[in-house]
């Protein structure tokens, strides 16, 4: 019995041997796998390696991102996030478990969104929504600019502040809309339809700041694209950062890489306009002076001609007429120059009146609520806090 027992136990592998066999089988059969799940127990060690678990309702998988990979590929792991991870399955014998050595991570669903983006892009392109032949020209000197974006986002601040410096003669009309989430696309469509129906602006900007493909997705919705295509106004799409592209970029009449660039695109620079006006005035004076000198030389040459001496009296008469014409031309020149200068002075006065802080310097007080200047009593909400703003100070007021 003892002899047989020794023969039986000698065929049983050790833990190391069994683990080695399992390691070989798993690592040979599961190279470069992709798996989707929810991140939990994410932890970065002092050495810089990140350990976490991917799980679903019925199972979980241990994962690790080595420090060198995380630093090189800028991989960020957060608990509760749905992620797709890629890498190799390895067995770690000391702990007797297998784990995924991760070298790739992205949000779950990004691949599906990209596919949906390309599918809709091809569909709308085939229907002609992107054709350059139907793109409308932007007005050179817009007086009223519509903007569809979030009232609290950075995009509207960038657009309004840039326009205030660049072309303060324009009025900006904001239609607040959510720029991400389930409500965003319907609200953007409502904004486009509002400006389309009221016809109270010269150009329309639609956009938001940067974000992930998921964050920017409302601007890839078919309903938004078709509303923008139907809009009779010149339109500019300003979605995300320079590297971001959305369906609205292809449908709109112009694409701006950022909201700030949209402001630069839709309005001229008032400083450049002033310089050009001065330059044109100078050219007008120079051109008129040269023409007068040329006419005077021609008259003098005619008077010196022998054949015309017998009719000097007539030439004298013509000379008087030319002198009168010269005076008239000089008078017309003076009027044009004066009108141009008066127009520039009027523009400067209008520019000065655009300064929203001028009333405060005179002792008036401004009421600010929800980031807006309340100019009418019916727009004041007595249930919300507000700010009182003077020229040298502002205070918050909380309603009890």
DSSP 212-257: -TTTTGGGG-HHHHHHHHH--S-EEEEESSTT---HHHHHSSEE-S
Cα–Cα separations (whole angstroms), residue 294 to 284, 290, 315, 322, 328: 16, 6, 17, 12, 16
pLDDT in tens, the chain (400 residues): 444 444 545 689 999 999 999 999 999 988 888 899 999 999 999 999 999 999 999 999 999 999 988 887 777 788 988 888 989 999 999 988 999 999 888 888 767 788 889 899 999 999 999 999 999 999 999 999 999 999 999 999 999 999 999 999 999 999 999 999 999 999 999 999 999 999 889 999 999 998 888 889 999 999 999 999 999 999 999 998 887 889 999 999 999 999 999 999 999 998 888 888 888 888 888 888 788 888 888 877 776 766 556 666 666 777 777 777 778 878 877 787 788 777 777 776 666 666 666 777 777 888 888 878 888 888 888 788 888 888 788 888 876 6
Could you give the CA distance from residue 28 to residue 40 in angstroms, rounded to a whole number?
A: 27
Three-state secondary-structure class, residue 173: strand
- Quote helix, strand, coil % in the chain, to nearest 5: 50, 20, 30
Q: Where are the domains of the chain?
A: 10-108, 137-266, 270-353, 358-397
Q: In terms of Cα–Cα distance, which of 254, 66, 263 is closest to 154?
A: 263
- Options 2.60.120.560, 3.40.50.1820, 2.40.50.140, 3.40.30.10; which CATH number does 10-108 get? 2.40.50.140
What superfamily in CATH does domain 137-266 come from? Hypothetical protein af1403; domain 2 (3.40.50.10550)
C-alpha dihedral, 54 to 98 to 92 to 106, nearest 10°: -30
């Amino acid at each position: 019995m003892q002899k047989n027992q020794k023969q039986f136990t000698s065929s049983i592998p050790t833990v190391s041997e069994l683990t080695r066999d399992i390691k070989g089988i798993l690592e040979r059969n599961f190279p470069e796998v992709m798996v989707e799940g929810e991140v939990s127990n994410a932890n970065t060690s002092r050495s810089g390696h990140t350990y976490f678990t991917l799980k679903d309702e019925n199972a979980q998988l241990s994962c690790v991102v080595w420090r060198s990979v995380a630093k090189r590929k800028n991989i960020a792991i957060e608990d509760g996030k749905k992620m797709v991870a890629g890498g190799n399955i390895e067995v770690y014998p000391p702990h007797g478990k297998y784990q995924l050595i991760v070298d790739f991570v992205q949000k779950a669903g990004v691949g599906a969104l990209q596919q949906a983006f390309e599918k809709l892009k091809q569909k709308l392109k085939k229907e002609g929504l992107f054709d350059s032949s139907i793109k409308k020209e932007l007005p050179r000197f817009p007086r009223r600019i519509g903007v569809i974006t979030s009232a609290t986002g950075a995009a509207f601040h960038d657009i309004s502040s840039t326009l205030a410096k660049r072309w303060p003669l324009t009025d900006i009309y904001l239609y607040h809309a959510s720029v991400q989430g389930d409500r965003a696309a319907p609200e953007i469509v409502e904004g486009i339809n509002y400006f389309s129906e009221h016809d109270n602006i010269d150009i329309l900007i639609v956009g938001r700041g940067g974000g992930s493909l998921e964050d920017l997705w409302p601007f890839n919705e078919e309903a938004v694209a078709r509303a923008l295509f139907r809009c009779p106004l010149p339109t500019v799409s300003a979605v995300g950062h320079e590297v971001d592209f959305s369906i609205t970029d292809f449908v709109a009449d112009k694409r701006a890489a950022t909201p700030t660039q949209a402001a630069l695109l839709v309005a001229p620079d008032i400083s450049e306009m002033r310089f050009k006006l001065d330059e044109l005035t100078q050219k007008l004076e120079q051109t008129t002076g040269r023409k007068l000198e040329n006419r005077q030389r021609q008259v003098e040459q005619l008077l010196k001609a022998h054949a015309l001496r017998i009719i000097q009296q007539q030439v004298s008469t013509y000379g008087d007429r030319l002198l009168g014409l010269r005076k008239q031309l000089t008078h017309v020149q003076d009027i044009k120059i004066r009108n141009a200068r008066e127009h520039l002075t009027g523009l400067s006065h209008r520019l000065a009146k655009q300064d929203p802080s001028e009333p405060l310097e005179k002792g008036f007080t401004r009421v600010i609520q929800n980031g807006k200047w309340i100019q009418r009593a019916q727009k004041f909400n007595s249930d919300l806090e507000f700010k009182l703003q003077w020229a040298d100070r502002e205070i918050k007021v909380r309603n009890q």
